[in-house]
Amino acid sequence: MYKYKSNYELKDADPKSGVLICYPSIFNNVDSDRDMILPGAYTKTINERGPGSVKPRIKHLWMHSSYEPIAVPQVMKEDEKGLYVESLFGKDQFSQDKLQQHIDGIITEMSVGYEVIKSEKIMKTDQPEVVDYYKLSELRLWEYSSVTWGANSLTEIIGVKADKKDAVDILNDRMNKFIKALRNPKYTDESLESFEIEIKQIQAIINEILLKKEPEVTTPEPVDKATLVKEFRDILFT
């Protein structure tokens, strides 16, 4: 089964060389899917499909779209932290746009597309019949992607219970990055238009958060039982 997973760390992006250094996958932590990727999980797939192999097939995609490759891995290896990659972006405008968005902090997330080859169920110690998490010991990596989370997703991430000030600070920080990017001549008109749309979406969410009032809790006045019975009888016999 083909799966996606976001468990990453961005290291550096160099506009001159066009290289992004990143960890699209991190080892030894249990994620929200209850998976733990173990060191060595990518060794075979790197040897068979990575840069320098007989048939290099692993690509750096945009939003997991096979129709939109933006870079190719120049270096791919495992270290103590996870899957280390140096990714060279294409010289076309679309790929360069995405590299610049990494540099400007607009794109901050990565995800891998893979198949599980070998895994092991780890059961709960106090409930031996219940799976606690899964250890993934061998994966077939197809691609790793630069991904973004739009303004609509921000609403879900912040949630209704989030502190208003913290929520607005998060949104303002992201909006400021887009405003700064609007003044960057390196972006295409299409990218600038998408930035303007997201700025408007973020502004709308901020307004909604600031105008949202806590529901008022009212305590009903005590009602005399005799009065209540009398009113009920009046309704029945009128």
Give tens-digit pLDDT for 89-120: 999 999 999 999 999 989 988 999 999 999 99
Output the pLDDT for position 92. Answer: 95
pLDDT more than 90, % of the chain? 53
Domain that holds residue 180: 151-211
Q: Is 39 helix (H, G, I), strand (E, B) or coil?
A: coil
Is pLDDT above 60 for 225?
A: no
Tokens of 3: 């799966």
Q: In terms of domains, do 137 and 161 share one? A: no
- Whether the predicted pLDDT of 222 surpasses 70: no
Q: How confident is the model at residue 208 (pLDDT cuts 50, 70, 90)?
A: confident
Instruction: Examine residue 216 and state whether it is found in any structural domain, yes or no.
Output: no
- My answer on whether 84 and 166 are in the same domain is no
Phi-psi region of 164 (alpha: psi -120 to 50; beta: other; left: phi over 0): alpha
Same domain assignment for residues 191 and 89: no
- Whole-model pTM above 0.85? no
Let me know whether 49 and 160 are in one domain: no
d(CA 108, CA 147): 8
17-51 tens-digit pLDDT:
999 999 999 999 998 889 999 999 999 999 999 99
* Six-digit token string for 112: 């891998």
- Co-location of 182 and 138 in the same domain: no
- Cβ(75)–Cβ(11) under 8 Å? no
